[in-house]
A = this chain, B = another copy of it.
Amino acid sequence: MARVAVDVVIKPEILDPQGKAILAALGRSGHTGITSVRQGKHFDLEVDDSVTDAELEEIAGTLLANPVIETWTVTRLAEVAG
Residues of B with C-beta under 8 A to A41: 39-42
How far does the alpha carbon of A8 sit from the alpha carbon of B36 in the complex, in Å? 18
How far does the alpha carbon of A4 sit from the alpha carbon of B31 in the complex, in Å? 14
Q: Count chain A residues whose beta carbon lies closer than 8 angstroms to a beta carbon of B.
A: 33
How many of these chains are in the complex? 2
Residues of B with C-beta under 8 A to A63: 22, 25-26, 29, 31
**5 contacts across the A-B interface (CB closer than 8 A):** A5-B7, A8-B42, A25-B63, A33-B51, A41-B41
A residues with a Cβ closer than 8 A to B are 1, 5, 7-9, 19, 22, 25-26, 29, 31, 33-48, 50-51, 55, 59, 63-64
